[in-house]
Structure 1
Amino acid sequence: MSILEWMPFSVLLPLLAAPVCALLPGRFLPWLLAMASVTASAVIMAFVLPEAVNEPMRYFFGDWPPPIGIEYRVDAVNAFIGLLIAVMGTVILPWGRISVNREVPQRQGLFYALFLLSFAGLMGITLTGDAFNVFVFLEISSLSTYVLVAQGRSRAAPLSAFRYLVMGTLGATFYLIGIGLIYIMTGTLNMVDLAERLPAVADSRAVQAAFAFIIVGIGLKLALFPLHRWLPGAYANAPSAVTVFLASTATKVAIYVLLRLVFTVFGIEFVRQMPFAEVFFVLGVIGILFASIWAIEQDNAKRLLAYSSVAQVGYMALAISFVSVAGISAGLVHMFNHALMKAALFMSVCTVIYQVGSPHISAFRGLGRQMPLTMLAFVLAGLSLIGVPLTVGFISKWLLIETAMADGNWFAVVVVLVGSLLAVMYIGKVAEAAWLRPAPEGREPVREAHPGLLVPMWILVAANFYFGIDTRLTVDVARRGAEMLMGGSP
């Protein structure tokens, strides 16, 4: 079998393994099956990416070519995102096994089945070349994620899951209405065919309304300010493994769908006729500043990082607003880099919660001496989030600043710098409690975390520095992907 024939199995394997996981007894067997299927997806995507960078790969299901049949169409952009999702799942599952044993002690087969459905849904969204299939996989991923969030031990977990359900359903509905409108106008759902047929009807009110519906629907899914209200509660109250997985993958996939539909389906000329750039610039700036300020005010470390994620989505929106190859490239690089740094940060915070039992920053006091490896990982990943040189955060913020300066937009440069200073404040808030504050009186000494929690965390910390020094994979692939999305536009 060629790599093209193997490509669909990156989605099918976890999708088929999910019901089997639900039937398996105990804790180890469901985890092992989940780990095997996610790892297999990662291996497949590792072989797909080099092929897709050179030329898009198309797989027709049942040998029915579109627009009648459904296809997977993979190029540099979605192969890049697909590999990111699969690798993050492969790193998170070994770390999550220990925390899941405590947070979800019963019916772990069901938990891992839901995890695989969420994973398969995200992979399917990324690889499909059919706009309606995006909706199908979006619902597979979302419905399983709602239940995963509700598995949290906090009393607020079911309420957070319900809010996520309401907002997610609204987003999916808006998206479906938009897709329905463009189907009425073009008679096809295949993205390549849509790109060819939409220009003939681009001036119609129906297509313009479809564009607006799709933007709002995806904006809800990616937690774009002010459509972010579901995210802090979902991240803060979900089981630790779910929090780390969502923070490193879910919003990244939503950003990809936005880029794919806006620039590939509707096209650059249509986008420049709409107030897309202006809206995303304003929302990106507000998201960076206000979400960072809200992060500073938080006493719950998981909620602090959740608001930080809203701010990082703002950086991506700001990059996209330049509507250029350089801007899209900077956004794609930051998408990849944010997955690495935010996963490492959430892992360190959730490891502390595992050892101490509390997410409040006051519980971090004195842990720099008692849990030095965990808190050092937090500080190093925090430096990456701030944008210190030799880290991935510096690379993506530098690319964004370069794009803004080339565009003559010095206000955007100031916003990026101010956002980084605000990140110093909220990351420093946790680091200060851990390293400069004494341990609370009466608290028993806290032991360093289990190696099973430390090793995956430090793999991600190391990746934050490796890809901050060697940028050939991230920057080169992102640049190639941006050129494909923009169709050769400057």
Structure 2
Amino acid sequence: MIFDHLPALQVALPLAGAALCALIDRRHIAWAIAAIVCFAMPVIAVLMVIQVLTSGPISYAFGGWEPPYGIEYHIDVVNGFLLVLVSVMGAIVMPYARLSVAAEIPENKQAWFYCVYLLCLAGLLGMAATGDAFNAFVFMEISSLAMYVLIALGSDRRALVAAYQYLILGTIGATFYVIGVGLLLAMTGTLNFVEMAERIVEVENTRPVLAALAFITVGMCLKLALFPLHVWLPNAYTGAPTVATAFIASTATKVAVYLLLRYYFSIFGVVFVFDDLPVTPILMVMSLAGMFAGSFVAIFQTNVKRMLAYSSVAQMGYITLGIALATPVGLTGGIVHLFNHALMKGALFLALGCVAYRIGNCKLDNMAGIGRRMPLTMAAFVVAGLSLIGVPGTVGFISKWYLALGAIEQGWWWLAFLIVASSLLAVIYVGKVVELAWFRTPTGAVVEATEPPLAMLVTTWILAAACVVFGLDADMTAGLAARAADVLFAGLLR
């Protein structure tokens, strides 16, 4: 039955699609292949989540080699939630991509863009699905190499510098990760997550295991762009083509967070990581620094795309703050923000892509009065911006509500105050764009601007509308996040 092979298909289909795009090398056909593959991914992910919710975790052994001797894909509610997020975001930008890619990338490179896009998607899905530590590294490299190329395809020559910078720092992060995995292999004798979690109890207080935890933490924090390991992110997001920026911002850092969660809670264990070691204060300080520094720097940016890139540094701080709280409510807030941040930042970057499609850039000074000429596009930007701030009725409020509850539950009222205070900084930089776009007289290219093509506008509004829909009714997203938090705290892998 094909349903028995859904975990393998989740990764194999985009890999096969990437090969077809490379072999055919026709931009329209490549887009069609990428669209078909990407629209199939959410269906597969949702079917697996339904199976997990009704029958328990899925274990898929490759080549008939049962774990721990063979590679296993292990799907539970934690990575099932992430697989849905990555696959949905991968699919939702495809209608937008056809016109956006045609406008930003030379014709002879467009088929290769879709090839690399599918490779990146396969790598991220593989990282989320695998139950093998080294296999996660392999998929990490597949997705990373693809992201370097996606960023380098940007129209600005500075995109090459951004891609190279990310290549260097991404390689360092991956090296730290694989060193940590090597130490764990030496101490436990296995690469399988389940076996590793069972055997690490006997050796958890040894220096190699402590070193492994440190290496994996630094490697993953670099990949997820936690302050001050974020220096690759602003240039990468600014220089990449719009579709690539929206996809990477919505997915790549989230998968790195998942892998960190898996090691902290399922393998090392919550008691060892958060009770025996000073991980909570260290992670909390870095998270708070990111929340404030990212937002503060965003205020002074003159390129709106770069402004949102620094905003992403702040938003990753909220996610890791939920991890640092190390309580079910706090962790629920961090996990649900993975989903919520993908929606709002995806909508914001796509709205900017619509602006760039009409006026050629996203510089703040050149966007004066754009709201009068592109009201639907900028209305979507406002909705997503309000969500970024955390206004009640939006997904951003749901995330910060859970984080504040988690802080108050610990008796840390000062932390709840800082969560609110950091949100007020977002009011400033989002407000700057809104004021300029809606209350200034149109000048330059803006005078002739019109709404983007329907495919781009509808895609943008789907994400913007989702920011409100899941903000008013968070039962599904927050409910799944709460179940994922419970599974992580239970340390369950079977």
User: What interval of TM-score do these two structures reach, taking the shorter chain for normalisation?
Assistant: over 0.9
The 3 A distance-change label for structure 1 pair 442 and 184 is: closer
1:264 is matched with 266
The residue that corresponds to 1:21 in the other structure is 21
> Structure 1 counterpart of 2:238, which letter?
A
Distance in 1, matches of 2:355 and 2:414, equals 38
Indicate which of 369, 372, 384 corresponds to 1:369: 372
Aligned 1:207-286 pairs, distance under 5 A:
207-271=209-273, 272-286=275-289
1:157 alignment partner in structure 2: 159
Alignment check: 8 A CA contact 1:45 1:82 kept: yes
Q: How far apart in 2 are the matches of 1:108 and 1:102?
A: 10
> Which of 329, 334, 337 is residue 337 of structure 2 equivalent to?
334
Counterpart Cα distance in 1 of 2:45 and 2:28: 26
Q: Distance in 1 between matches of 2:142 and 2:86?
A: 16
Residue identity matched to 2:243: A
Cα deviation, 1:278-319, whole Å, max 9, x if unaligned, reads 111000100000110000010000000000000000001111
Q: Could you tell me how far apart the structure 2 residues matched to 1:13 and 1:442 are?
A: 42
| C-alpha separation in 1, matches of 2:190 and 2:433 | 51
SS of corresponding position for 1:154? coil
- Paired position in structure 2 for 1:296: 299
C-alpha deviation, 1:433, in angstroms: 0.7
Equivalent in the alignment of 1:191: 193
Selected match of 1:321 from 311, 317, 324:
324
Deviation at 1:468, TM superposition (A): 0.9
Post-superposition Cα deviations, 1:439-458, rounded to whole Å, max 9, x if no partner, equal 12586421111111100001
> In the superposition, relative to structure 1, how do residues 128 and 441 fare at CA in structure 2: closer, same or farther (>3 Å)?
closer
Aligned equivalent of 1:131, options 118, 130, 133:
133
Distance 1:443 1:91 in 2: 28
Change (3 A) 1:442 1:319: closer
Task: Work out the CA distance in 1 between the residues paired with 2:12 and 2:477.
Answer: 27
C-alpha deviations, 1:380-430, integer Å up to 9, x for none? 110111111111111111111111111111121111111110001011111
Letter in 2 for 1:487: A
Greater CA deviation, 397-406 or 4-13?
4-13
Paired residues of 2:372 and 2:438 also in contact (CA < 8 A): yes
Task: Describe the SS at the equivalent of 1:390.
Answer: coil
Counterpart Cα distance in 2 of 1:183 and 1:25? 42
For 1:341 and 1:174, the matched residues in 2 are separated by 31
Give the residue type in structure 2 aligned to 1:71: E
The alignment partner of 1:107 has SS state of helix
Match of 2:148 in 1: 146
Is contact 2:287–2:317 with CA below 8 Å preserved after alignment?
Answer: yes
Of the structure 1 ranges 192-201 and 350-359, higher mean CA displacement relative to structure 2 is found in 350-359
State the Cα distance separating 1:48 from its structure 2 match. Answer: 0.8
Unaligned runs of 5+ in 2: none
Query: Which residue is 2:75 aligned to?
Result: 74
Q: TM-score scaled by structure 2?
A: 0.97
- In the alignment, the residues of structure 2 paired with residue 40 and residue 413 of structure 1 have an alpha-carbon distance, to the nearest angstrom, of 41
What letter is aligned with 1:56? P
- 1:89 aligned residue: 90
TM-score after normalising by structure 1 = 0.98
Counterpart residue type for residue 100 of structure 2: S
| Alpha-carbon contact 1:23-1:109 (below 8 Å) kept | no
Classify 1:45/1:280 alpha carbon distance in 2 versus 1 (closer, same or farther; 3 Å). same
1:102–1:442 CA distance, 2 compared to 1 (3 A) = closer
Letter in 1 for 2:53: V
Looking at structure 2, the residues matched to 222 and 399 of structure 1 have their Cα atoms a distance apart, in angstroms, of 21
Match of residue 429, structure 1, among 420, 432, 435: 432
Amino acid at match of 1:381: A
Q: Residue 5 of structure 2 aligns with which residue?
A: 5
Q: Deviations over 1:90-127 (max 9, x none)?
A: 11111111110011122322111100000000000000
State whether structure 2 residue 467 is matched by structure 1 residue 464: yes
Match of 1:168 among 167, 170, 176: 170
What is the letter of the counterpart of residue 430 of structure 1?
V
d(CA) in 1 for partners of 2:403, 2:230: 23
Distance 2:326 2:116 in 1: 37
Q: Distance in 2 between matches of 1:117 and 1:35?
A: 14
User: How far, CA to CA, are the matches of 2:217 and 2:258 in structure 1?
Assistant: 12
One of 290, 305, 308 as aligned partner of 2:308? 305
For the residue of structure 1 that corresponds to 2:325, the secondary structure is coil
Query: Which AA in structure 2 matches 1:470?
Result: D
103-112 vs 229-238, which moves further:
103-112
Separation of aligned partners in 1, 2:409 and 2:26: 57
The sequence identity of aligned pairs, in percent, is: 49
Q: Does 1:58 align with 2:59?
A: yes
Residue 353 of structure 1: aligned partner = 356
Within 2, Cα distance between the matches of 1:289 and 1:20? 45
Secondary structure of the residue aligned to 1:241 is helix
Q: CA RMSD in A?
A: 1.2
1:124 and 1:397 map into 2 onto residues whose CA distance is: 30
